[in-house]
Amino acid sequence: MRGIRGAITVDTNTAEDIINSTRRLLSEIINENHIQQEEIVSIIFTATEDLDQEYPAVAAREMGYNNVPLLCLQEMNVTGSLSSCLRVLIHINRNCSLSDIKHVYLKEAKRLRPDLVNNVKKGRLS
Protein backbone atom coordinates (compact mmCIF):
# COMPACT_ATOMS: atom_id res chain seq x y z
CA MET A 1 0.00 0.00 0.00
CA ARG A 2 1.17 3.52 -0.80
CA GLY A 3 -0.01 6.99 0.18
CA ILE A 4 -0.12 9.91 -2.21
CA ARG A 5 -0.32 13.47 -0.91
CA GLY A 6 -1.56 16.62 -2.52
CA ALA A 7 -2.91 20.07 -1.80
CA ILE A 8 -4.45 23.04 -3.56
CA THR A 9 -5.57 26.48 -2.50
CA VAL A 10 -9.14 27.57 -3.18
CA ASP A 11 -9.84 31.09 -4.45
CA THR A 12 -13.22 31.62 -2.77
CA ASN A 13 -15.18 29.86 -0.05
CA THR A 14 -18.01 28.71 -2.29
CA ALA A 15 -19.33 25.22 -2.91
CA GLU A 16 -18.51 25.58 -6.61
CA ASP A 17 -14.90 26.62 -6.02
CA ILE A 18 -14.30 23.92 -3.40
CA ILE A 19 -15.70 21.23 -5.71
CA ASN A 20 -13.80 22.49 -8.77
CA SER A 21 -10.52 22.77 -6.85
CA THR A 22 -10.94 19.30 -5.37
CA ARG A 23 -11.76 17.87 -8.79
CA ARG A 24 -8.64 19.50 -10.28
CA LEU A 25 -6.41 18.18 -7.49
CA LEU A 26 -7.79 14.63 -7.67
CA SER A 27 -7.55 14.58 -11.46
CA GLU A 28 -3.91 15.69 -11.38
CA ILE A 29 -2.97 13.05 -8.78
CA ILE A 30 -4.86 10.28 -10.58
CA ASN A 31 -3.39 11.19 -13.97
CA GLU A 32 0.19 11.70 -12.77
CA ASN A 33 0.16 8.36 -10.93
CA HIS A 34 -1.93 6.40 -13.47
CA ILE A 35 -4.33 5.31 -10.73
CA GLN A 36 -7.19 2.94 -11.50
CA GLN A 37 -10.27 3.27 -9.30
CA GLU A 38 -9.92 -0.34 -8.13
CA GLU A 39 -6.50 0.52 -6.65
CA ILE A 40 -7.89 3.19 -4.31
CA VAL A 41 -8.26 2.02 -0.72
CA SER A 42 -9.48 5.32 0.73
CA ILE A 43 -9.23 9.08 0.38
CA ILE A 44 -8.87 11.48 3.30
CA PHE A 45 -9.48 15.18 2.75
CA THR A 46 -8.69 18.05 5.07
CA ALA A 47 -9.75 21.66 4.67
CA THR A 48 -8.68 24.75 6.54
CA GLU A 49 -11.35 26.20 8.80
CA ASP A 50 -12.12 29.03 6.35
CA LEU A 51 -13.45 26.53 3.78
CA ASP A 52 -16.87 25.54 5.08
CA GLN A 53 -19.31 25.74 2.17
CA GLU A 54 -18.96 22.16 0.89
CA TYR A 55 -17.33 18.83 1.62
CA PRO A 56 -14.42 18.03 -0.73
CA ALA A 57 -15.73 14.46 -0.93
CA VAL A 58 -18.67 15.74 -2.98
CA ALA A 59 -16.27 16.26 -5.89
CA ALA A 60 -14.95 12.70 -5.57
CA ARG A 61 -18.50 11.32 -5.59
CA GLU A 62 -19.31 13.42 -8.66
CA MET A 63 -16.21 11.95 -10.33
CA GLY A 64 -17.63 8.45 -9.80
CA TYR A 65 -15.79 7.35 -6.66
CA ASN A 66 -18.99 6.12 -5.04
CA ASN A 67 -17.54 2.90 -3.59
CA VAL A 68 -14.32 4.43 -2.25
CA PRO A 69 -14.32 5.27 1.47
CA LEU A 70 -14.00 9.05 1.80
CA LEU A 71 -13.45 11.14 4.91
CA CYS A 72 -13.41 14.92 5.35
CA LEU A 73 -11.67 16.53 8.32
CA GLN A 74 -10.74 20.04 9.40
CA GLU A 75 -7.02 20.79 9.16
CA MET A 76 -5.30 21.87 12.38
CA ASN A 77 -5.40 25.65 12.81
CA VAL A 78 -1.72 26.56 13.20
CA THR A 79 -0.67 30.20 13.47
CA GLY A 80 0.77 31.40 10.18
CA SER A 81 -0.34 28.35 8.21
CA LEU A 82 -1.64 28.50 4.64
CA SER A 83 -5.31 29.48 4.48
CA SER A 84 -7.99 28.37 2.02
CA CYS A 85 -6.22 25.08 1.51
CA LEU A 86 -7.53 21.61 0.69
CA ARG A 87 -5.24 18.66 1.37
CA VAL A 88 -5.67 15.05 0.36
CA LEU A 89 -4.13 11.69 1.23
CA ILE A 90 -4.99 8.89 -1.17
CA HIS A 91 -4.19 5.34 -0.11
CA ILE A 92 -3.68 2.94 -3.01
CA ASN A 93 -2.99 -0.77 -3.28
CA ARG A 94 0.19 -0.81 -5.29
CA ASN A 95 3.56 -2.46 -4.92
CA CYS A 96 6.00 0.20 -6.11
CA SER A 97 8.93 2.22 -4.91
CA LEU A 98 8.27 5.34 -2.87
CA SER A 99 10.21 7.25 -5.50
CA ASP A 100 7.62 6.20 -8.11
CA ILE A 101 4.87 8.14 -6.31
CA LYS A 102 4.13 11.63 -7.62
CA HIS A 103 2.71 13.96 -4.98
CA VAL A 104 0.85 16.99 -6.37
CA TYR A 105 0.83 20.50 -4.90
CA LEU A 106 -1.03 23.18 -6.87
CA LYS A 107 -1.34 26.95 -6.74
CA GLU A 108 -0.20 28.48 -3.42
CA ALA A 109 -0.02 25.01 -1.85
CA LYS A 110 3.26 24.48 -3.72
CA ARG A 111 4.99 26.22 -0.83
CA LEU A 112 3.88 23.50 1.59
CA ARG A 113 6.25 20.94 0.09
CA PRO A 114 8.71 22.63 -2.29
CA ASP A 115 10.82 19.48 -2.09
CA LEU A 116 8.03 17.56 -3.83
CA VAL A 117 6.84 20.10 -6.39
CA ASN A 118 9.46 19.05 -8.94
CA ASN A 119 8.36 15.44 -8.43
CA VAL A 120 5.67 16.15 -11.05
CA LYS A 121 6.43 16.89 -14.67
CA LYS A 122 7.09 20.58 -15.34
CA GLY A 123 4.28 22.45 -16.99
CA ARG A 124 1.56 20.51 -15.18
CA LEU A 125 1.44 22.66 -12.04
CA SER A 126 -0.05 26.09 -11.61
| Predicted local distance difference test score (pLDDT) of residue 41 | 98
Region 57-79: what's the mean pLDDT? 97
Residue 126 lies in a domain: no
Residue 123 lies in a domain: no
Active-site option among 2, 39, 65, 72: 72
Residue 82 lies in a domain: yes
| Predicted local distance difference test score (pLDDT) of residue 126 | 36
Q: What percent of the chain has pLDDT over 70?
A: 93
| Predicted local distance difference test score (pLDDT) of residue 119 | 56
Q: How many domains does the chain have?
A: 1
Residue 125 lies in a domain: no
Residue 101 lies in a domain: yes
Residue 80 lies in a domain: yes
Q: Residue 66 is part of which domain span? A: 2-117
Query: Would you say residue 124 has pLDDT above 50?
Result: no
> Is 94 labelled as part of a ligand binding site?
no
Check if 2 is active-site. no
> HEC string of the chain?
CEEEEEEEECCCCCHHHHHHHHHHHHHHHHHHHCCCHHHEEEEEEEECCCCCCCCCHHHHHHCCCCCCCEEEEECCCCCCCCCCEEEEEEEECCCCCHHHCCCEEEHHHHHHCHHHHCCCCCCCCC
Residue 84 lies in a domain: yes
* CATH number, domain with residue 93: 3.30.1330.40
| Predicted local distance difference test score (pLDDT) of residue 113 | 86
